[in-house]
Amino acid sequence: DVQLVESGGGLVQPGGSLRLSCAASGFTFSSYSMNWVRQAPGKGLEWVSYISSNSRTIYYAGSVKGRFTISRDNTRNSLYLQMNRLRAEDTAVYYCAREGGQYVDILTGYEDLGYWGQGTLVTVSS
């Protein structure tokens, strides 16, 4: 079974840094693109960042570009999100999500987000 387990969340002061990890198992990690999606308390889902299977293609949401860095280690089956210069508005549960693997939009080449981790809470507060 596909498993995604996030870790690394916690309380951090504004301006601080945090590194999130997502440990993947149950599938060939190096074959799939991965994403980070966040959800602020009581709010909806916000896509944060995308990384292709070979790390050659990376995208960020405008709200985090220049502050967050996504990366992956296919030898360790792990996805990361380095978050710098954190702001109060970055407070959220952060989910790692894998593309579904069975359907591709023929216009974009992207898939649905078929698998999600349980999330890790990041709180930015003084």
Partner 1 sequence: QSVLTQPPSVSGAPGQRVTISCTGSSSNIGAGYDVHWYQQFPGTAPKLLIYGNSNRPSGVPDRFSGSKSGTSASLAITGLQAEDEADYYCQSYDSSLTGPYVFGAGTKVTVL
> Considering only residues 1, 41, 56, 62, which one is a binding residue for partner 1 as defined by CB under 8 A?
62
Looking at the Cβ atoms of 75 and 108, the one nearer to partner 1 is 108
The reply to whether 66 sits near partner 1 by the rule CB under 8 A is no
Q: How far is the CB of 17 from partner 1 (least distance, A)?
A: 22
Span of 9-17, 69-77, 82-90, 100-108 interacting with partner 1 by CB under 8 A? 100-108
Specify whether the backbone of 77 is left (phi greater than 0), alpha (psi in -120 to 50) or beta: left
Element (H or E) spanning 25, and its range? strand 18-25
88 near 124, Cβ under 8 Å?
yes
Give the pair of three-digit tokens for residue 80: 């990361």
The reply to whether 5 sits near partner 1 by the rule CB under 8 A is no
